[in-house]
Amino acid sequence: MANRHYVFADHVEIPPTRRPTTDRVIPPGLPPADGQDPPEGWTPIRIQCQYVTEPDGTPSTLLLYSRPCAAPQHHWPDASTDDRPERYDGRRWSPEPLEVEGATRVVRLAEMLSLDQLQVDDEYQQLVEDVSEEARRFGDLVKAVIPRPGPGADDPVVAGAGKVFLEYASLTHSIRCWEAMDGRWFARRQIVAGFYPEDMFAAGDYSCDGQN
């Protein structure tokens, strides 16, 4: 994940500057009076400052108080054993059943790439790896195809160039991908996701413009 060159996002708004929250109230008893223990659940932490000294030349000590904070738990189903079509809200799978008329095992992502991103071999391979890694989050990915034009200006137009085709092992997983990817952002472009005919994909024909 850390080596990705391209990043998917649910939106592209610039986050506001973080401000201190108003719901953090210092509990009674902090800091405790001399000789008294801190409130229950709070642990004192003493940090010795090497470069700050007291008037007598001894290192200063910074006294902090902390308490454990439970991390949020997110449930990610095992795609290999969970075959229920479920709705994805960008954070977790919901048990709400999802049925999509005309769905296939192949998802097509349009409006996602520019042809310039496909010209350089190294960048193209990195792009395929990043897209495949993201696509595997939604299930058992069988194949990822990103058609690209030839390097020369006289090369014929390649059908499907600039689009992404993702084949999944099951309809459940392709529906998950479609639900999650439609409307997301990639390289400042908003993705339009749809389903693609399985027979045309198997034949290597990426010319169909119809989209569910």
The model's pTM: 0.57
Number of H helices, E strands in the chain: 3, 11
The answer to which of 38-52, 62-76, 137-151, 190-204 has the lowest mean pLDDT is 62-76
Cα–Cα dist 63/192, whole Å: 53
Query: Which DSSP category does 5 fall into?
Result: S
Of residues 81 and 103, more confidently modeled:
103
Instruction: Give the β-pairing of 141-145 and 106-110.
Output: unpaired
Of the chain, the percentage scoring pLDDT greater than 70 comes to 66
Question: What's the CA angle centered on 160, arms 120 and 193, to 5 degrees?
Answer: 105
DSSP-derived 3-state class of residue 121: helix
Of residues 37 and 7, more confidently modeled:
37
Of residues 113 and 19, more confidently modeled:
113
Instruction: Give the β-pairing of 189-190 and 185-186.
Output: antiparallel
User: What domains appear along the chain, each with residue ranges and CATH number?
Assistant: 94-202 (3.30.70.330)
Of the chain, the percentage scoring pLDDT greater than 90 comes to 32
What are the tokens at 155?
Answer: 């090369």
User: 43, 66 in Cβ contact below 8 A?
Assistant: yes
The answer to which of 24-28, 29-33, 35-39, 197-201 has the lowest mean pLDDT is 24-28
> Which residues lie closer than 8 Å to 168 by C-beta, 6 or more apart?
105, 106, 107, 138, 139, 140, 141, 142, 174, 177
Residue 71 has pLDDT above 50, yes or no: no
- The pLDDT of residue 78 is 47
> pLDDT tens-digit profile of 149-181?
876 555 556 888 889 999 999 999 999 999 999
pLDDT band at 98 (very low <50, low <70, confident <90, very high): low
> pLDDT tens-digit profile of 177-203?
999 999 999 888 899 999 999 999 999
